[in-house]
Structure 1
């Protein structure tokens, strides 16, 4: 956190009041400062004061503006974190001149009242400690998707013009720190970003027209995500700038993906990315990923440079290196690896979905798009991912529709220049031929992988599944075992042992 700044006199009185143990029932508060807020932590409570500052992107100079900002913070954050955000409370001055939390006197300041959470559950601490697994990161992706689903649509914001303004803003901010961020690299990045943006301008405007620009979180990184009741919970969404918060939903998600990737957790970024795709079906967004990841990294580059300029010694050196690393990452995201198509097949319970998602980060940044027939079938039926379909979902006609959707979605992803993983049983030779043809027609390399496992183990896996998109039962597996699979030409991997060995064997079979 930044060092406390010198507040105006009225706020100095309030800060002194909030610093006293007597204000908090005898508990000595802990004070935290950012460039726009001061937070006091005491017992189970947290109190946030908006600093009376004027910055290029906000004006908190008046008491009324701070009240409105507190109310806006409560409104947006209760959508994702209702257990944290309790309300807006006035600091009042009574007839005796004493300050009180609440009370009937004149309001001299406004505070956001929050329930304190365990700082040890911040994802910025859990991720490097290895305490976020695929289940937890998928729960986070689902929380983000639900947040986006309930977010107001903002067709007056976003689109190509808004993204161009962000790119230009990044360029100006980076130029202000030429001693930290090499000007030639920054200029090359800005030129490449504008070129990418020009190619995607029509798509960005199309997404805005489709309602995919919404009032989002805006600051979705690991430091703004914690566990509440064991559930991943985003908090501290941006309330002070619609420019920063009213954005494409995938640009919002991209901050999380970039942050995970830069923290050395690309596999987690891949799981978050693909679970969001499973939930949303928004495969169109894959084309925006290089741009959105790059712009997010560029933002962090100039923010880190600004922080470095105000630091000293080892901290300045650390932040300077971080700024330069983000700049390099921003350049790298604009040059993704060439797309490839991987198909992972096998009977139910063979571990296809796990294998596909584990291999995906080896094929693209942050991962190849995993396209699953299980998920596509649910979307085609208008059902939720975990809804169990009746017989009408598994007719031959529905099976054909599902595989056609698989082929077309893979084509869409490959046309966007991104790698795809096709996850399906692929029991019929013609289905395997069809997915190989998708790669040939797209002019990209194809790799196929066939998984097999002892039937009793596959059956046990199916019996013990929990919260799984697949509707396969042991009876379905028994029926599959009677199939004539034909000649399987794809490399085959036995998945009856440990998951680590199966993944290693898969990588070896594919030369990854």
Structure 2
């Protein structure tokens, strides 16, 4: 590699503008196509053909310092190191911008005058914020999001829990100061309520959050996990643009990191997708301490929304300074206010409830439970506990892997129900409503569900689904990639069950899902 030297600090400001002009020129890349430039407060990004080059601006803020060439080099290297595990095909490396005589070059000889993050270009219209604004995020995509976020957290290094908790306390004050400075944008009374509620939640959950730090749940996370930083490539989602400039900001409770994307989905009227993602993530964790940790979730969701509102509000000043159009200013104002309203709503208390859905195989329990869960309880909806999933977890196999008949013996089934009730009690104790999906064919199984709710001091609703045998068999035979191992023979054998007296609300589930869900909602509400 050619020998290089660093440019002196005195020429950096003028040189950076020259570099930007060079990077915007199609001739730099030997292409006739236009080069698109995207500017943020911290970077200038150049999209040229299949390549992307991101150059850090020579700026210094209280939270971010790119003021010297050496600091920009280090932060470019950090961006590659942090993001490559989540998107190895996108983050290619760090390249120097060099000057030899009067000639600039990408990775040439001479003096290094700037550094750039080199990325492979992807469809910038395939980010999930754009997809969410265009229509519903599919359940399959939501499950995939749960997979990649869990994988990202699972491989992240542990951080200092006490420092992370202290930072959360600071964020409450910082948000309040930001809202108070913009009374024309953010309602003063609402801002005051957010502040008071946030302090209450923080005080209530502080010991829990510190314990989670000791247990290893504070990790070096993505840190900026909103939908605009998740994109699709080759039919699969990937995470990108993680916080690279400050480990302290990105080192947080994994549920606080998860809360960002859950909040963003909810703000964009994607509660169904958010609930699928939420439950998939909890399933992959299969950790009682994560369920107990849900006590902090309203605080996490609200804090994420408040920070987002503050960040968007900062764009308003920038837009005004650049003489943006009235319509663009109005859109920024509306966007900031909708996150602000969410911050206020998410932190309001809501008592948890337990719904148990029972019925013989093929009655549609799981479809109904998944339909009810998003709208049941506080954001992002109910914790969904399904006996079929718990049985697979108990045996350490994938959802759709078929278990032998021995896995359905009385002892194993007892363990499955015990697991359901234990997890339900943890979630309810943390304030999250629960929907429990299991056959509940025997009186003691139904009674145990009611007892779980009573011991947690929560209201209980039991739904018993009824469907003719031929409909049940047809549904079972039509299943694909499902966690249930029930067969037509199992359904026929259940016809001889003595279920004992059914005291739960009976629901005719023989028709379409919408009709069944409507009847169930009328009972729940």
Alignment of 1:281-430 (within 5 A): 281=286, 282-312=290-320, 313-364=326-377, 365-390=379-404, 393-430=407-444
* Residues 300-347 of structure 1, C-alpha deviations (whole Å, 9 max, x = no match): 221222222333433333333433332232121111422111011223
CA contact under 8 A between 2:461 and 2:524: conserved in structure 1?
no
* Structure 1 residues 131 and 370: CA distance shift in structure 2, 3 A: closer
Corresponding position: 1:28 with 2:34 = yes
CA distance, structure 2, for counterparts of residue 50 and residue 324 of structure 1: 30
Q: How does 1:79-98 map to 2 (within 5 A)?
A: 79-94=85-100, 96-98=101-103
Q: Measured at CA, do residues 338 and 485 of structure 1 come closer, stay the same or move farther in structure 2, by a change above 3 Å?
A: same
Looking at structure 2, the residues matched to 390 and 153 of structure 1 have their Cα atoms a distance apart, in angstroms, of 39
> Aligned residue for 1:234?
239
1:201 aligns with 2:206: yes
Deviation at 1:406, TM superposition (A): 1.1
Distance of aligned partners of 1:207 and 1:341 in 2 relative to their CA distance in 1, 3 Å threshold: same
How far off its partner does 1:496 sit?
4.1
Alignment of 1:13-52 (within 5 A): 13-26=18-31, 27-52=33-58
Aligned length: 504
TM-fit CA distance, 1:385: 4.1
How far residue 21 of structure 1 moved from its aligned partner, in angstroms, is 0.7
Please give the residue correspondences for 1:198-277 in structure 2 after superposition, counting only pairs within 5 Å: 198-277=203-282
TM-score norm. by structure 2 comes to: 0.90
SS of structure 1 residue aligned to 2:232: strand
Question: Does structure 2 retain, via aligned residues, the 8 Å contact 1:158–1:248?
Answer: no
The residue number in structure 2 matching 1:107 is: 112
Asked if the contact 1:158–1:213 (Cα under 8 Å) also holds between the matched residues in 2, the reply is: no
Structure 2 spans left out of the alignment, 5+ residues = 1-11, 321-325
The alpha-carbon deviation at position 454 of structure 1 amounts to: 4.3
Distance across 1 between alignment mates of 2:193 and 2:371: 34
Aligned CA-pair RMSD: 2.2
| Cα distance per residue 1:179-234 (max 9 Å; x no partner) | 42234432332122111111101110111111111111111111111111100212
State the shift of 1:404 in Å: 1.1
| Whole-Å separation in 2 of the counterparts to 1:392 and 1:61 | 66
Match of 1:487 among 501, 508, 512: 501
In structure 2, what is the equivalent of residue 3 of structure 1?
none
Please tell me whether residue 119 in structure 1 is matched to residue 132 in structure 2. no
> Counterpart of 2:157 in 1: which secondary structure?
coil
TM-score computed with the length of structure 1 as normaliser: 0.92
Q: Secondary structure at the match of 1:128?
A: helix
| Whole-Å separation in 2 of the counterparts to 1:157 and 1:241 | 17
Conservation of the 8 A alpha-carbon contact between 2:197 and 2:348: no
* Secondary structure in 2 matching 1:311: helix
Greater alpha carbon shift after TM alignment, 287-296 vs 407-416: 407-416
- Residue of 138, 143, 152 corresponding to 1:138: 143
The answer to whether the 8 Å contact 1:157/1:213 transfers is: no
1:77 and 1:458 mapped to 2: Cα distance? 47
Whole-Å Cα distance in 1 between the matches of residues 164 and 18 of structure 2?
Answer: 44
Distance 1:113 1:322 in 2: 31
Question: Offset of 1:148 from its aligned partner?
Answer: 0.9
Partner of 2:133: 128
| Change in 2 beyond 3 A, CA 1:387/1:206 | farther
1:438 maps to 452
